[in-house]
Each structure stands twice: as structure tokens, then as C-alpha cells.
Homo-oligomer: A and B are copies of this chain.
Amino acid sequence: MLISMEERGKCPADAGFVAVNYITCLPHYAERFEMLFASRARMIETMQGFLGMQVLRAEAENEPYLVVSYWQNKQSFEAWVGSPEFLEGHKRGFEDLRRAKEAGEQPPMQSRFVTYSVIAR
């Protein structure tokens, strides 16, 4: 059965562009990191071309979390990264990083960002 994108609503299966943030937390920060996403601001939902997101926790230890967002195309993703909603949506995490820096501490999380195009489904 094939149904249109409008009928089924937003689905990551329709993404042409995927952004993955590989995030490594200090051990004491993992619980807060998970809480931040469990209670996230959902600002990203308002963006045109946004098709979904997932936070993935590896079963193996010493593997980064993956924060994955699915987009219609690269342009819709770039509009998000440059938006006031992006800053608002990351407020608590950015604040944690700022506080650690001011206190001369190690950052509680480190991220590596990779963007992808979907070449097969």
C-alpha cells in the first residue's frame, strides 16, 4: 500500500538530508543529557521541512549518543541552524556548557556533527 506524504504526515522515511550529532557525555552528565531531550522544547517541530528526530543510546558502552534529525533537504536543515528557534531549543544545553567553561571545568559533553544525504531507502 502506497500512501502520500500528506496522508501519513511527517515521516523520516521521506528525508533527503539527515544531520547526526555524535555526543559524548562525561559520566556524571549522561542523566541530565537524557533528561534535556526527554523534556525538549520542541521548537524544531515548527520548522518547515522538518520530518522528525531521534535520540539514540548505544547498547555498547563508550559509544556516543546520536542526535539525529531528518529533513526534506539541506536548505530546510540550514534554515533551522540559523534560526532563533535553534538557540531557544538548545538553551539549557548551551547554558550547561557556558557554566562549565566559566568554572574552568571540562565541558560536560562534546559533540561532533556530520551531515548526510540519503542515497538509498
* Copies of this protein chain in the complex: 2
Interface bracket on A: 35 or more
Residue A114 at the B interface, CB < 8 A? yes
Q: How far is the CB of A34 from chain B (nearest CB, A)?
A: 6
Identify which of A12-20, A88-96, A97-105 touches chain B. A12-20
Residue A47 at the B interface, CB < 8 A? no
**A9 contacts which chain B residues (CB < 8 A)?**
1, 3, 8
> Which of B56, B63, B121 is in CB contact (< 8 Å) with A52?
B121
Residue A23 at the B interface, CB < 8 A? no
**A119 contacts which chain B residues (CB < 8 A)?**
34, 37-38, 55-57
Residues of A that sit less than 8 Å from B by CB: 1, 3, 7-13, 15, 18, 20, 34, 37-38, 40, 52-60, 63, 66, 70, 114-121
Identify 15 new A-B residue pairs, CB closer than 8 A, beyond the known A55-B118, A60-B115: A3-B9, A7-B8, A8-B8, A12-B12, A12-B52, A18-B56, A34-B119, A56-B118, A57-B116, A57-B117, A58-B115, A59-B114, A59-B115, A59-B116, A59-B117
